[in-house]
Amino acid sequence: MPETITYDALLSRIQAHDGAAHDVFDPATGALIGRAPVEDESALERAVERAHAAQPRWAALSDDARRAYLHDAADAVERWAEPLAELLSREQGKPLEGLNARFEVGGCVAWLRATADTPLPHEVVVDDESTFAEMHYRPIGVVGAITPWNWPMMIAIWQIAPALRMGNTVVAKPAQSTDLSGLAIAAILNIVLPEGVLITVTGSGRTIGQALAAHPSVGKIMFTGSTEVGKQIIEASAGNVTRLTLELGGNDAGIVLPDVDPAAIAEGLFWGAFINTGQTCAALKRLYVHDDVYDDVVSHLAAFAAAVPMGVGLDTGNLLGPLQNRKQYETVARLVSAARDSGARIVLGGEPDPAAAGHFYPTTIIADIDPHNPLVVEEQFGPALPVIRYSDIDGVVALANESEFGLGASVWSRDRAAAQEVAGRLQAGTVWINSHGGLHPMVPFGGAKHSGYGREFGIEGLKAVSEPQVVVG
């Protein structure tokens, strides 16, 4: 029978039919969109057992066979792209258009294919008269994949695809506020994958996530989320010496040097900060601008920002959406209030509509703010950007590096060599020049300091979900 590819067909594959469940509401409208299952620790136990049982047969396939499965999975995501994007938009809040829901589903396809196509041959490390030594990359076993709610499909793929490619099986735990998106992307992959290779368990982080991290049969945890929960995962997994890749919080600095053309960089600065309505780990979250160009950069940025439409994700033309959940809305509102109370200048936004049905916080730009204001030093994870004035490059580098986070950073200048010199002094896993936040499936990504450890994507990312084995002789 041919597949029926509709939004309703997707929802019926993943909805809770019986047992414990929670209602899922559209953050833009408050409308009920579905019910997601709430599973308990016994479900997690069964999932790990099934994944563990399926792993030897999956690992015994050739690398080429697993690569073909990932391409088949990418084909399936392409066929289901429109229903997936619609669900993502309804549940997460991000609009269909722009760098949002359709873009995220496209990212899933791109990462599946790139992960399939990245070669990882054995590496000869020594080959001389006395020694021949090679590095082989073996499967670890069962990988636990724990994801956040901001890019719930794409981040799941970032964890699942390399783990599968390297011969591991996966137990995935989506963030509870975007359970349906996590279930949906896995359900589409499971149209093509063999039984037991990828299992999703939904439920709270404190029960399912914690039990997954502490499980002795789980060899590796891929975790993306907050630094606080990252530390809990380190503790929960310590007794089993579980391998960890931790992609944690960020509070990325951008430094604008005095030689820029403010009109030319406004668009790049805006999307660097406001992609996914600011709910992005490696978004630009504090912008330091040299005094010589400060007023022009602020005014061009604010003019660009004021013209970008925000609204319900399924409505044509919107490029920004609501905050995904009330807790995040309250964090942004608290930080903007603190900035206002300190005397900082609200250039744009800052006044949410109390009658709005969804968790909409308007695009907000705040100038002349103290470098130690909470909006600057905390991760806001929403559409409010502080712009800090500086005049001394050593001082601004010190301020950028004061943060406990070190995910990304950017330097903006017409002089590439000058920008690279500043980049070399920044404590961050990635430094972009004249852009911020762009990712590529072959370019390693990850954080310094409390933004985590380990790298995803490309060859580094494949190695991260394998057990290196040296074969000598």
Is 104 an active-site residue?
A: no
Choose among Mg ion, ligand NAP, none what residue 285 binds, the Cβ cut-off being 5 to 8 Å by kind.
Answer: Mg ion
**Out of 248, 266, 289, 335, which residue is the one contacting ligand NAP (CB under 6 A)?**
248
Taking the C-alpha atoms of residue 5 and residue 219, their distance in angstroms, rounded to an integer, is 36
**Positions 230 through 289 that interact with Mg ion (CB under 5 A):** 251, 285
Residue 383 in tokens: 């559409």
Residue 441 binds to ligand NAP (criterion: CB under 6 A): no
Is 247 an active-site residue?
A: yes
Taking the C-alpha atoms of residue 308 and residue 363, their distance in angstroms, rounded to an integer, is 9
Residue 343 in tokens: 């005397």
**Positions 361 through 420 that interact with ligand NAP (CB under 6 A):** 379, 381, 407
Catalytic residue among 281, 378, 379, 456: 281
Residue 181 binds to ligand NAP (criterion: CB under 6 A): no
Residue 380 binds to Mg ion (criterion: CB under 5 A): yes
Q: What is the DSSP letter of 313?
A: T
Count CB-CB contacts under 10 A for residue 472. Answer: 9
Residue 451 binds to Mg ion (criterion: CB under 5 A): no
Residue 376 in tokens: 């600057």
Number of helices (H) and strands (E) in the chain: give both, helices first: 16, 20
* Residue 297 amino acid letter: V
**Out of 34, 37, 167, 250, which residue is the one contacting ligand NAP (CB under 6 A)?**
250
**Positions 21 through 40 that interact with ligand NAP (CB under 6 A):** none
Residue 24 beta carbon to ligand NAP: minimum distance, rounded to whole angstroms:
13
CA 180, distance to chain mean position in Å, is 17
Sign of CA dihedral 41, 42, 46, 49: positive
Choose among Mg ion, ligand NAP, none what residue 436 binds, the Cβ cut-off being 5 to 8 Å by kind.
Answer: none
Nearer to ligand NAP, 151 or 390 (CB): 151
Write b or e for each residue in 22-51: b if 16 or more Cβ atoms lie within 10 A of its Cβ, otherwise e.
bebbbbbbeeebbbbbbbeeebbeebbebb
Catalytic residue among 86, 91, 247, 379: 247
Q: Residue numbers of the site for Mg ion (CB under 5 A)?
A: 251, 285, 380
Q: Which residues are catalytic?
A: 247, 281
Q: Residue numbers of the site for ligand NAP (CB under 6 A)?
A: 146-150, 155, 173, 175-177, 204-206, 209-210, 213, 224-226, 229, 232-233, 247-250, 281, 379, 381, 407, 447, 451-452
